[in-house]
Structure 1
Amino acid sequence: MGKKLRRSLLFLLPLLIIFFLSGCSNTQEKNIYQADKKTKTITWGIKSDTRLFGLMNIKTGQSEGFDIDMAKALTKKIYGKNAKVKFVTTTITTKIPLLKNGNIDAVIAAMTITPERKEYVDFSTPYFNAGQSLLVKKGSSITSIKDLNKKNITVLAVKGSTAVANIEKYAPKAKVLEYDDYGQAFTALKSGQGDAMTTDNGILYGIAKENKGYAVVGGTFTNEPYGIAVNKGQKQLLHAINKALAELKEDGTYARLANKWFGDVAGFNLKEAEGQ
């Protein structure tokens, strides 16, 4: 089976499951903005395995990170200071199915805006301008994407992510091993199963921050902006999110939250992340 066909099946299978389990849910017909306005509550799909964006705190049992704080700030901008949030942990393969099936209202989970995903969901304006990069052990001979085309190089990535397709495009000679999540991929890197791990720079900076023997190298070789996803047809909710996001950037809240999570990370550029 070809790589392109495998990627298509990985993306489409969760969506097919929706129709069998939900009987073709009609959540697109429900006005989520108006429903949430009554309860002053937005249910967000988040990550719980991605340092700096959304990571489970084992002491509190709650996820913490930039995405979490942004979701709280956006909710209060939209429905007022007494508004509440609910969080549902998602993965690469479950976030769109959960959104399409009405289990969550919006997704803020380090989710790259892509043409393929736009077929199923609508995205806000970018809230974090990320780009794909490489994580290696310090002292590695790999310093850029070009080095991945050397003989016998193995790159580690997460299944179903845009990172896999990008490596096939920019470093076609590299062998790619895919894992279920970032934790597994990094464990594989530590154990020597690969020469480099690849995904968005923001995620890699989080891993490097907690593991001093590793470094993010080569800058970014793609433009991978993160967007907030809502179900197709939810124009009122999407408009409210875009308006709130613009206000958070204008009043300084965005900068405060970004610096809280990324300010001490070498190479972080606030203006670049914000899209200025």
Structure 2
Amino acid sequence: MKKFTAAMLTMALAGTMLTGCGSTASNTTTDDSAAKDNTAATDTAAEFKLATDGKLTMATNAYFEPWEYYDGENIVGIDPEVAQAIADKLGLELEIMDMDFDSIVTAVSAGKADMGMAGMTVTEERQKNVDFSQTYASAVQAIIVPDGSDIKTADDMEGKKIGVMQGFTGDLSCTEQFGEDAVVRFNKSAEAVMALTQGKIDCIVIDNEPAKKIIEANSGLTILDSKYSQEDYAIAFAKGNDGLRDAVDAALGELISDGTVEQIMNKYIVAD
């Protein structure tokens, strides 16, 4: 399934949403030609606050393929490529900080990172602490179960042990719906998969694209046809840093409009 259609990208462009810290790894990349061609953007960059002068620092959790993941020592994926394109438009160097997902909002709010991109869903709770860009992608929360499981739909998760990624939307939603005792939290999807194959949990709730990568790499597991939920992804910014938010949002809008975001997504998400 090709999840991102032209219509969805148009809707994302039209729907602007203004509404978590230690770094364990970083990528620093820049495009010299793009920087030279963006002198006006560089002048604009002086109007907003950055964690490090001349750099656009992105906080992420690089264990969420295809959105962000390690290729050797480098962090790659949809979000890093979109962030690089934004940085190029603003005439800035991109720096990526890898951290636990639930530290991203804290890092952004404290000014240690300029923005958070990690397949991050816009929620009312997060909007209390950070502002968001417009939506740049829509995603489905999928349910992974062992072959032969008696879980056939989301309703069947009642009374089961549900594996989630700590701080992710699946964590928040499943905790709210099924209760704290039903949820088992993991920092990495590989840890959740191991627990599932060992029978320590009954299912995993995770974004559909990482779910497909898990199924490809692990026999004996399947994704239910019944999805858990659908959500929108956006970029998080510290409250009060309106200049940066607006500049990034404008650059993101241009990248959606000219098809760059769709091209990046199609590079990582192949039609079935």
| TM-score (norm. length: structure 1) | 0.74
Per the alignment, residue 62 of structure 2 pairs with 48
Q: Distance in 1 between matches of 2:243 and 2:125?
A: 23
**2:162 aligned with 1:162, yes or no?**
no
Partner of 1:64: 76
2:136 pairs with one of 127, 138, 150: 127
Greater RCO (Cα-Cα under 8 Å, separation 6 or more): 2
Say if 1:230 and 1:173 are closer, same or farther in 2 by CA, change over 3 A: closer
User: Aligned to 1:148, which of 136, 143, 157?
Assistant: 157
TM-superposed CA distance for 1:163, in Å, is: 1.7
Q: Contact (CA 8 Å) 2:51, 2:111: kept in 1 or not?
A: no
Partner of 2:27: none
1:256–1:209 Cα change, 3 Å? farther
Q: Is the 8 A contact 2:122 2:233 kept in 1?
A: yes
Give deviations 1:117-137, integer Å, cap 9, x for gaps.
Answer: 111110111122123220122
For 1:261, the aligned partner's letter is: Y
Equivalent position to 1:77, from 84, 89, 92: 89
The alignment covers a number of residue pairs equal to 230
The 1:37/1:94 distance shift into structure 2, 3 A limit, reads: closer
Shift, 1:72, TM fit: 0.5
CA RMSD of aligned residues (A): 2.7
Q: 1:142 to 1:173 in 2, by over 3 A?
A: farther
Question: Where in structure 2 are there 5+ consecutive unaligned residues?
Answer: 1-19, 22-44
* Structure 1 residue runs without a partner (length 5+): 1-13, 16-30, 267-276
Among 203, 225, 229, the alignment partner of 2:232 is: 225
Which SS does the other structure have where 1:112 is aligned?
Answer: coil
- Per the alignment, in what secondary structure is the counterpart of residue 121 of structure 2? coil
Q: Which one of 88, 94, 97 corresponds to residue 88 of structure 1? A: 97
1:189 maps to which of 166, 182, 196:
196
Asked if 1:260 is matched to 2:272, the reply is no
Note the C-alpha offset of 1:33.
5.4
When normalised by structure 2's length, the TM-score is 0.75
**Which residue is equivalent to 2:40?**
none
Query: In the TM superposition, what is the alpha-carbon distance from 1:219 to its structure 2 partner?
Result: 4.0
- Residues 38, 97 of structure 1: alpha-carbon distance in 2 compared, 3 angstrom cutoff: closer
1:144 to 1:95, Cα distance in 2 relative to 1, 3 A:
same
- 1:201 is aligned to 2:215: no
Cα offset for 1:96?
1.6
Deviation at 1:38, TM superposition (A): 9.7
Report percent identity of matched pairs. Answer: 24
